[in-house]
Amino acid sequence: MIAAIPQGARRAAPPKTDVLSRWGPALVLVALVSALSLASANFLSVANFARIATAAVPALMVALGATFIVIMGSIDLSMEGTVSTTAVLFALAFGALGGQLAGMGVLAIGVALLAGAAIGLVNGLVHVKLRIPSFMASLAIGFVGVGLSVLLTGGDIVRVNDDVFRALLLKRILGFPLMVYVAALVVGAAWFIQRNTTLGRNFYAVGGGEDLAHASGLNVQRVRILGFTLAGVFYVIGAIFAVARGGMAESLTGANYMFVSITAVVVGGTSLMGGRGGVWHTVAGVLIVNVIANGMVVLGLPNYVQDGVLGVLVIAAVVLSTSRRSHALVK
């Protein structure tokens, strides 16, 4: 049985570091928006903000799943393979079930969600039961996922042309695509899991000190397995949004999500040491990454400038979210 550990049992962060971790990402986001608005009149518009939000939605869903893993003090690098495989499975199942979201095609969502949960479960079992470091176990599962997506498609593209499904991108409310509002509901669900469920509190307990959590009666292995399973579900949601945005699925659908999601989680202030951060930090982190990407395009700057800025932000975020006093050697 999984037992919740009182939040007071977590390791307390130094006050200054805690304040920077809590409010730093939001302040960085506001500063970026303000600076880019002054630099370009084209940046500050509903149409441009809609482009930013549309680009951010799939990555945000993936980053939410990764957030739960990082809170536990682990790293998940399987998202590219999971997104590619489940996107292809969704598209194939959708077509096989009639290709209509208003009909039997809606069952394809359940097929994809089950597949993502299964991949996450295997990921967690390999990590926990075989005692393989999470980054290595998940990286291997990610490679398997990419290979499986190639096997399923034969290297071809699977298109999804249903008007109802494509309405996630094409239907607009107040200038923003419908998928943005659906994503907001998913963010609310993730926040609820984090704040109001025993499992969400246990993620923090494990990340705040695995030995203490185990000594308090928490089944740490089960929490980790459930965490990876839950992450797999969020990766599927990101995959479905990616298919809706592009109108197709292929073996490259998940490309670059590993870099973007981990960068967003770290830049958002969720500590790589575990135990601190959360959903709203990740929302801010994803928006920062996408505002930078959009701003570089608006200003006409090359991609390497964007990569350099993101690299500096990642280093700064890790410095601000990690207490070096408690670690004799940073590996």
Q: Let me know if residue 1 belongs to a domain.
A: no
User: Two tokens at 102?
Assistant: 């208003």
Q: Which residue has the higher pLDDT, 319 or 18?
A: 319
Q: Let me know if residue 17 belongs to a domain.
A: yes
Residues 6+ apart with CB under 8 A from 11: 208, 209, 275
Query: Is residue 217 pLDDT above 60, yes or no?
Result: yes
Exposed (0-12), middle (13-18) or buried (19+): which is 104, by Cβ within 10 Å?
A: middle
Q: Let me know if residue 8 belongs to a domain.
A: no
Q: Which domain holds residue 69?
A: 13-322
For the segment 100-129, the average pLDDT, to the nearest whole number, is 95
DSSP class of 7: G
Q: Let me know if residue 149 belongs to a domain.
A: yes
Q: Let me know if residue 3 belongs to a domain.
A: no
Query: Is residue 320 pLDDT above 70, yes or no?
Result: no
Query: Is residue 107 pLDDT above 50, yes or no?
Result: yes
> Mean of the per-residue pLDDT values for the chain?
87
- As a whole number of angstroms, the distance between CA 241 and CA 30 comes to 26
Provide the pLDDT for residue 21.
61
CATH number at residue 74: 1.10.3470
Provide the pLDDT for residue 13.
47
Strand locations in 130-243, DSSP E?
A: 158-159, 172-173, 176-177
Domain count, the chain: 1
Q: Let me know if residue 6 belongs to a domain.
A: no
Provide the pLDDT for residue 330.
37
- Assign 32 to helix, strand or coil: helix
Provide the pLDDT for residue 123.
96
Provide the pLDDT for residue 216.
84
